[in-house]
């Protein structure tokens, strides 16, 4: 624990010094906006390259936050007018479908286009994902399609649920946060989409997701003071609170209610039914 | 109401229940006369070893555990979770409501499940006496409700005795216990050094009917050293070091055992006869102690999940005290403080080994700071005395560990890290002598902060009521108004005392079921959260007597009754039913013998909410025999006895989950002193 204190102290010192100096001297280079991300793909063209970054080292089944930059090779600058859009596609033996995905936005940093994709399944020998990127470079509309690898998370934990609700609508519910769970009250986030057709996945608004986290390894122990996930229109995600009383393997049992409070999916956890059919799994 | 008991003698054990007791014919006269003036405090002194060399004439079972000594006292009952590390209770209150100190040093156990009361970290070989003070009479030692137990270490104190030493060994048949001990002392007018070591090893004991109680074994050793140097005629410095380690301790009443319980206790003190020309007996001490306690269940064949639960407790402290005598007023002032760190964690090993370990902090590195001032004035009146005392303390708890702090915030989102309190105690104790009658009466107010477990415990499993317990950081301070009254009629040949006390405890802290919470421990019935009850009431009363049939033959007896209820009239847990003890003691020349009976009525006023049931009445009979031999200048003493002669299978209300007590037990002790 002590070592962390020192690290924090050093970090704090470094940050405060940096902060001071940047006030004094605006020539200090900006912090790299993709510093903590993994570059997973790069396409090179004669006058520019397209870089694709991911928060995770590899794209995994479930929610993936992805960032895209377009670099002008001539002057080594990143463009702020690429206006990219994207379309992930799963090519199965007899059909193809897309996956829920957000728009790409450069609102945080104008040269980094950020968005997310929810992959419902992993690729394998006969079925694969590709990603089509449409963007502008120097006023010219370009398109690039590349094969992408989507794998199951290494620990095999369930982080996305694709299901048909009692209203006969197909939904995709994916776990977003916490990415690093703690023994604490965690801020939890998830995204909920419905499948309008093979290619269209609109965001579902104003539903409610009831949480019941459990530890099957500890007699299905649960935790207090969880807060159900509700829709946040500014992030277009579902936010709530997740209490975790110890480290270990947790199953987050859920029930999905529509805007009228009608149950669409999931069951109460009881002694006879130790888990809901709608759940996420986490380990830490 | 002050009495001195020599526990080492069967005489004394049972006289111990008495007030103003006589130890043996030789010293009875001086004891009584010395007592009569100080006969005011609701205190009891359990003499464990007179001076440093064991006085075998007065010893009943010379190498019995400290727990057995304390149990023999009038005011103390011991809660048992096995054969080792019993937890003292007084006036129907357990350790969180008592101050237990070693030579005035604050020490706190490192076990979240109270498996290491601090009385388990010393041994009889270290101690000279246990000072037992009821209610606020113990406020000199700390803030408590029920009373104080101060274990006084034995010291040669510059008596010019030169070298002396002794070897002791004991054997008990029931659990095959072997005890080996020795001490070596050197003392002169300007210097002394005391060292002693004791080792105990016991197998499982057998309850009545030869039924083995599994996981009741233990092994422990204790080493202590203390030394003093006179730096001038009226100034001296001294230092103490105690190392105590127990291994492989079984707790049959619990789901876990202890692989290590280790304490290192150290102190240095300075004494000066006079201070500023007015004060005398000025003594100042600084101390440090560190405890490590490791619970594990690796030796249990069937557990739902394996777990490790280590705990650490570390305390720094000091005190400085002096007397001031002004004609009829005898003042005593004390300034003291301590800083304690309590940390405990739990790691559980999932059956599916691919899952990560489950980890939690059960005590989130709680730092307790206490700074107090104590003052008393003992006022001599005509054939009477009045003692007024007060303690004022600043007390704070803070949670240092972020992991633990965030864990507790799951339950208390708005809790702060720091929780300061102001604690206070006031008492008045009056004593009146009217020929052969003595009257004692007292009124007191005191309060206490919640213990670390009560304030910050995180899923602490209580195997008695089968609930997990969660602490509550921002509870009210528990406070108590208590009154005591006793009458003694005392003649040279006989004596009888009737005593009673009553505690009205506001904001009584106890765990209450919270049905919205889910238990953590597999198989637990639910979760209890510590709360303040509006109030609780505890009433204790006893009658005790002594009759000397001749110089050699003496009878003593005591009967007591206790009652504790909460504000809804529900019974409090761990309150004794009617209990009695009686003993016939013979002592002549170098022979001694005793026959004693001990028992309790049915536990009718039990508390089912806290796991108790109606413990049946019981009675046991014991006997002891002793003989002393002189070999040249040396001294050999043999003592043998039988406990529980009829091999009764029984348990009392103090037995955690009703584990049966030891059945018939033969013991023999050999002591050899070299002068």
Q: What is the mean pLDDT of chain A?
A: 88
pLDDT score at A128: 93
* A223/B contact by beta carbon, under 8 A: yes
* Any A CB within 8 A of B347 CB: no
Restricting to B residues 486-545, those with a Cβ less than 8 Å away from any Cβ of A are 516-523
pLDDT(B195) > 80: yes
pLDDT at A216 over 80: yes
Helix or strand (DSSP H, E) at B405: helix B402-409
A257 at B interface, C-beta within 8 A: no
Least confident of A12-16, B161-165, B428-432: A12-16
pLDDT of B398 above 80:
yes
B415–A contact, CB cutoff 8 A: no
Q: Do A248 and B355 touch (CB under 8 A)?
A: yes
Please compute the mean of the pLDDT values over residues B182-190 and round it to a whole number. 91
Mean pLDDT of chain B: 88
Q: Do A245 and B352 touch (CB under 8 A)?
A: no
Please list every residue in chain A whose beta carbon sits closer than 8 Å to the beta carbon of residue B517: 224
B7 pLDDT exceeds 50? no
Q: How many CB pairs under 8 A join A and B?
A: 83
- How far is the alpha carbon of A227 from chain B, nearest alpha carbon, in Å? 11
Asked whether residue A25 carries a pLDDT value surpassing 80, the answer given is: no
Residue A18's pLDDT is 46
Tens-digit pLDDT profile for residues B65-98: 888 888 888 788 889 988 899 999 999 999 999 9
pTM for this entry = 0.86
- Contact A128/B at CB under 8 A: no
- Residue A178, preceding peptide bond in cis (omega within 30° of 0): yes
B406 lies within 8 A of chain A by CB: yes
- Asked if residue B22 has pLDDT above 80, the reply is no
- Give the minimum alpha-carbon distance from B527 to chain A in angstroms, rounded to a whole number: 11
Could you tell me the residue ranges of all domains in chain B? 3-674
Determine contact: A7 vs chain B, CB below 8 A: no
Q: Who contacts A195 (Cβ-Cβ below 8 Å, separation ≥6)?
A: A169, A170, A171, A172, A201
3-state secondary structure at position B15: helix
Quick: pLDDT tens for A235-280. 999 999 999 999 999 999 999 999 999 999 999 999 899 999 999 9
Show Cβ contacts of residue B239 under 8 Å, excluding neighbours closer than 6 positions: B226, B227, B228, B266, B267, B268, B269
Q: Cβ A217–B352 below 8 Å, yes or no?
A: yes
Over residues B423-438, mean pLDDT: 94
Residue of A nearest to B519 (CA): A221
Q: In angstroms, rounded to a whole number, what is the distance separating the alpha carbons of residues A99 and B335?
A: 72
**Dist CA B563 CA B554 (whole Å):** 31
Question: Is the Cβ pair A246, B409 closer than 8 Å?
Answer: no
Q: What percent of chain B is modeled with pLDDT above 90?
A: 69
* Average pLDDT of the segment spanning B352-373: 95
Choose between B672 and B388: higher pLDDT. B388
In this prediction, residue A23 carries a pLDDT of 43
Q: Is residue A161 pLDDT above 90, yes or no? A: yes
- CB-CB neighbors (< 8 A) of A215 in chain B: 358
Instruction: Tell whether the model's pLDDT for residue B638 goes beyond 50.
Output: yes
Compare all CA atoms of chain A with the CA of B353 and give the residue at the minimum distance.
A217
- Looking at 3.90.480.20, 1.25.40.340, 2.40.170.20, 3.40.630.40, the CATH number of the domain B3-674 comes to 2.40.170.20
pLDDT, residue B31, reads: 30
Is the Cβ pair B520, A245 closer than 8 Å? Answer: yes
Check CB contact under 8 Å for A183 and B407: yes
Measured between CB atoms, does B569 come within 8 Å of chain A? no
Contact B410 A223 (CB under 8 A): yes
Tens of pLDDT, residues B300-315: 888 888 999 999 999 9
Structure confidence by residue, pLDDT tens digits, A50-67:
999 999 999 999 999 999
B134 close to B42: Cβ distance less than 8 angstroms: yes
> Which residue of chain A comes nearest to B361, CA vs CA?
A246
Which site among A1, A217, A222, A242 would you substitute to test the B interface, given the most B Cβ atoms closer than 10 Å to its Cβ?
Answer: A217
- Cβ distance B305 to A221 less than 8 Å, yes or no, reads no
* B582: alpha, beta or left? (left if phi > 0; alpha if psi -120 to 50): beta
Q: pLDDT value at position B49? A: 60
| Beta-carbon separation of A183 and B409 below 8 A | no
A183 interfaces chain B, CB cutoff of 8 Å? yes
Q: Which residues of B touch A243 (CB under 8 A)?
A: 410
Q: Which of A219, A250, A253 to probe the B interface (max B CBs under 10 A)?
A: A219
Best of A5, A178, A183, A244 to substitute, by most chain B Cβ atoms within 10 angstroms, is A183
Least confident segment among A17-21, B210-214, B622-626: A17-21
In this predicted structure, the answer to whether residue B330 has a pLDDT above a threshold of 60 is yes
Print the SS3 string covering chain A. Answer: CHHHHHHHHHHHHHHHHHHHHHHHCCCCCCCCCCCCCEEEEEEECCCEEEEEEECCCCCECEEEEEEEEEEECCCCEECCCCCCEEEEEEECCCCEEECCECCCEEEEECCEEEEEEEECCCCCCCCEEEEEEEEEECCEEEEEEEEECCECCCCCCCCEEEEECCCCCEEEEEEEECCCCCCCEEEEEEEEEECCCCCCCCECCCCEEEEEEEEHHHCCEECCCCEEEEEECCCCEEEEEEECCCCCEEEEEEEEECCCCCEEECCCCCCCCCCCCCEEEEEC
Select from B351, B360, B459 the Cβ nearest to the Cβ of A217: B351
Q: Band of the pLDDT at B551, cuts 50, 70, 90?
A: confident
Cβ–Cβ below 8 Å for B410 and A243: yes
Enumerate the residues of chain B whose CB falls inside 8 A of the CB of residue A224: 410-411, 516-518
Mean pLDDT of B309-322: 96
CA distance A7 to chain B (A): 15
Average pLDDT, stretch B570-595? Answer: 90
**b/e sequence A136-145, b meaning 16+ C-beta within 10 Å:** ebeeeebebe
* A283/B355 touch (CB, cutoff 8 Å), yes or no: yes
**Tens digits of per-residue pLDDT, A92-127?**
988 999 999 999 999 888 899 999 999 999 998 889
Sketch out chain A's domains with CATH numbers. Answer: 38-148 (2.60.40.10), 160-283 (2.60.40)
- CA distance, residue B513 to nearest chain A CA (Å): 14
Region B517-544: what's the mean pLDDT? 94
Between B9 and B144, the higher pLDDT residue: B144
Nearest Cα residue in chain B from A1: B401
Is B156 or B25 the better-scoring residue by pLDDT? Answer: B156
Does the structure show a pLDDT above 70 at B609? yes
Model ipTM value: 0.83
Cβ–Cβ under 8 Å, residues B379 and B328 = yes
A80 touches chain B (CB under 8 A): no
Whether the per-residue pLDDT at B38 is higher than 60: the answer is no
In this predicted structure, what is the pLDDT of residue B54? 45
Is any Cβ of chain A less than 8 angstroms from the Cβ of B305?
yes
Read off the pLDDT of each residue in A162-190 and give the average, rounded to a whole number. 95
Q: pLDDT band for B60, please (50, 70, 90 cuts).
A: low
Angle, CA A38 vertex, CA A34 and CA A39 arms, to 5°: 85
Residues in A touching B411 (Cβ below 8 Å): 224-225
The alpha carbon of residue A179 is apart from the nearest alpha carbon of chain B, in Å, by 16
**pLDDT of B33 over the 80 cut:** no
Checking if the pLDDT of B536 tops 90, the result is: yes
Query: Is A218 an 8 Å CB contact of chain B?
Result: yes
Does A153 lie at the interface with B, CB-CB under 8 angstroms?
no
Chain B residues with CB inside 8 Å of A248's CB?
348, 350, 355-359
- Per the CB < 8 A criterion, the answer to whether B482 and B429 are in contact is no
* pLDDT, position A8: 55
A224 interface with B at CB cutoff 8 Å: yes
Distance from CA of B295 to the nearest CA of A (A): 19
Q: Report the pLDDT value the prediction gives residue B589, as an integer from 0 to 100.
A: 81
Q: Per the CB < 8 Å rule, is A249 touching B413?
A: no
- Tell me how close the Cα of A160 comes to any Cα of chain B, in angstroms: 20
Measure the CA–CA gap between B584 and B546, rounded to whole angstroms: 10
* Chain A residues touching residue B523 (CB < 8 angstroms): 219
Contact B520 A1 (CB under 8 A): no
Nearest CA in chain B to A214: B518
Give B80 to chain A, closest Cα distance, Å: 29
């Amino acid at each position: 624990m002590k070592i962390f204190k020192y690290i924090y102290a050093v970090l704090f010192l470094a940050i405060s010094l940096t902060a001071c100096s940047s006030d004094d001297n605006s020539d200090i280079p900006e912090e790299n906006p993709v510093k903590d991300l993994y570059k997973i793909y790069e396409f090179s063209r004669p006058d520019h390259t397209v870089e694709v970054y991911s928060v995770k080292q590899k794209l995994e089944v479930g929610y993936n936050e992805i960032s895209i930059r377009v670099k002008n090779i001539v002057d080594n600058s990143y463009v702020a007018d690429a206006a990219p859009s994207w379309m992930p596609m799963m090519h199965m033996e007899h059909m193809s479908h897309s996956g829920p995905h957000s728009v790409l936005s450069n609102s945080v940093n104008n040269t980094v286009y950020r968005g997310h994709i929810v992959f419902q399944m992993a690729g394998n020998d006969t079925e694969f994902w590709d990603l089509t990127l449409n963007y502008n470079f120097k006023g010219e509309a370009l398109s690039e399609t590349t094969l992408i690898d989507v794998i199951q998370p290494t620990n095999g934990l369930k982080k996305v649920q694709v299901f048909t609700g009692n209203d006969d609508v197909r939904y995709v519910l994916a776990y977003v946060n916490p990415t690093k769970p703690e023994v604490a009250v965690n801020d939890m986030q998830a995204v909920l989409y419905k499948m309008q057709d093979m290619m269209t996945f609109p965001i579902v608004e104003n539903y409610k997701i009831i949480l019941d986290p459990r530890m099957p390894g500890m007699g299905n122990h649960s935790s207090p003071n969880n807060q159900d996930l509700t829709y946040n229109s500014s992030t277009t995600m579902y936010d709530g609170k997740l209490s975790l009383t110890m480290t270990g393997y947790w199953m987050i049992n859920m029930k999905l209610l529509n805007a009228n409070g009608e149950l669409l999916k999931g069951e109460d956890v009881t002694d006879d039914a130790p888990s809901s059919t709608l759940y996420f799994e986490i380990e830490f | 109401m002050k009495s001195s008991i020599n526990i080492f003698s069967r005489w004394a054990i049972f006289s111990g229940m008495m007030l103003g007791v006589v130890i043996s014919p030789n010293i009875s006269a001086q004891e009584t006369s010395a007592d009569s003036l100080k006969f005011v405090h609701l205190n009891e002194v359990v003499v464990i070893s007179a001076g440093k060399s064991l006085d075998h004439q007065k010893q009943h079972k010379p190498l019995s555990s400290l727990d057995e000594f304390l149990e023999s006292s009038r005011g103390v009952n011991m809660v048992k979770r096995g054969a080792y590390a019993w937890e003292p209770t007084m006036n129907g209150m357990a350790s969180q409501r008592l101050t237990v100190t070693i030579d005035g040093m604050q020490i706190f156990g490192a076990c979240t499940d109270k498996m290491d009361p601090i009385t388990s970290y010393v041994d009889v070989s270290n101690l000279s006496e246990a000072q037992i003070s009821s209610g606020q009479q113990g406020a000199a030692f700390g803030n408590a409700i029920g009373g104080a137990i101060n274990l006084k270490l034995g010291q040669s104190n510059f008596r010019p005795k030169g070298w002396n030493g002794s070897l002791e060994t004991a054997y008990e048949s029931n659990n095959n216990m072997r005890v080996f001990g020795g001490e070596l002392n050197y003392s002169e007018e300007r210097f002394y050094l005391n060292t002693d070591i004791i080792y105990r090893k016991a197998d499982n004991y057998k309850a009545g009917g030869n039924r083995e109680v599994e996981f009741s074994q233990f092994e422990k050793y204790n080493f202590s050293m203390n030394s003093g140097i006179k730096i001038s005629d009226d100034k001296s410095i001294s230092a103490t070091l105690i190392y105590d380690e127990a291994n492989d301790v079984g707790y049959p009443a619990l789901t876990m055992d202890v692989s290590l319980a280790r304490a290192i206790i150290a102190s240095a003190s300075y004494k000066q006869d006079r201070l500023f020309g007015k004060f005398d007996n000025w003594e100042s001490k600084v101390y440090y102690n560190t405890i490590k306690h490791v619970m594990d269940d690796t030796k249990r064949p069937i557990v739902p999940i394996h777990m490790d639960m280590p705990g650490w407790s570390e305390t720094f402290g000091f005190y400085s005290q002096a007397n001031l005598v002004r004609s009829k007023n005898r003042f005593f002032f004390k300034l003291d403080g301590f800083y304690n760190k309590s940390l405990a964690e739990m790691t559980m090993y999932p059956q599916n080994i691919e899952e990560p370990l489950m980890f939690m902090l059960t005590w989130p590195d709680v730092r307790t700071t206490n700074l107090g001032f104590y003052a008393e004035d003992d006022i001599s009146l005509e054939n009477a005395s009045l003692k007024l005392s007060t303690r004022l303390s600043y007390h704070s708890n803070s949670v240092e560990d972020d992991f633990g702090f965030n864990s507790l915030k799951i339950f208390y989102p708005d809790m702060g890290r720091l929780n300061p309190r102001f604690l206070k105690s006031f008492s008045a104790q009056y004593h009146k002598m009217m020929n052969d009658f003595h009257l004692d009466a007292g009124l007191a107010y005191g309060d206490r902060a919640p213990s670390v477990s009560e304030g910050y415990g995180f899923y602490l499993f209580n195997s008695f009521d089968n609930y997990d317990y969660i602490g509550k950081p921002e509870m009210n301070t528990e406070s108590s108004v208590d009154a005591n009254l006793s009458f003694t009629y005392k003649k040279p040949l006989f004596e009888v005392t009737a005593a009673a006390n009553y505690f009205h405890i506001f904001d009584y802290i106890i765990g209450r079921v919270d049905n919205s919470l889910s238990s953590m421990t597999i198989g637990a019935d639910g979760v209890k959260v510590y709360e303040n009850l509006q109030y609780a009431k505890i009433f204790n009363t006893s009658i005790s007597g002594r009759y000397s049939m001749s110089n050699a033959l003496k009878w003593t007896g005591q009967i007591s009754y206790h009652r504790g209820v909460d504000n809804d009239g529900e019974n409090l847990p761990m309150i004794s039913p009617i209990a009695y003890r009686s003993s016939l003691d013979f002592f002549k020349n170098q022979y001694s013998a005793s026959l004693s009976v001990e028992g309790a009525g049915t536990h009718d006023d039990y508390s089912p909410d806290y796991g108790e049931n109606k413990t049946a009445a019981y009675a046991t009979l014991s006997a002891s025999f002793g003989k002393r031999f002189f070999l040249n200048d040396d001294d050999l003493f043999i003592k043998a006895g039988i406990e529980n002669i009829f091999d009764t299978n029984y348990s009392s209300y103090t037995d955690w989950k009703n584990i049966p007590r030891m059945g018939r037990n033969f013991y023999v002790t050999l002591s050899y002193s070299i002068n």
